[in-house]
A = this chain, B = another copy of it.
Amino acid sequence: MFATNTSTLLPSMYAEASGRPDRLAALHFHIPVWSANVVDVMPHPGTSTETTELLVAFARRLGQIPIRMRRESIGYVFNAVYTAMNRAAITLVANDVASVEDVDRAWMAIMKTPFGPFGALDDVGIDTAWHITEYWAGVTGDVQLRTNADWLRGYVDSGRTGAKAGEGFYRYPNPAYAEPGFVEGT
Contacts and interface: CB of A to CB of B under 8 A. Distances in A.
A16 B50 CA distance: 66
A88 interface: yes
A87 B110 CA distance: 18
Interface stretch (A60-68, A127-135, A145-153, A169-177): A60-68
Contacts of A89: 81
Contacts of A73: 92, 95, 97-98
A58 to B, nearest CB: 14
A129 to B, nearest CB: 15
Nearest to A37: B109
Given A36-B109, A81-B117, 5 more contacts: A68-B102, A70-B99, A71-B96, A78-B107, A81-B103
15 contacts: A34-B110, A36-B110, A65-B105, A70-B99, A71-B95, A71-B96, A71-B97, A73-B95, A73-B97, A77-B92, A77-B102, A78-B110, A80-B92, A81-B103, A85-B85
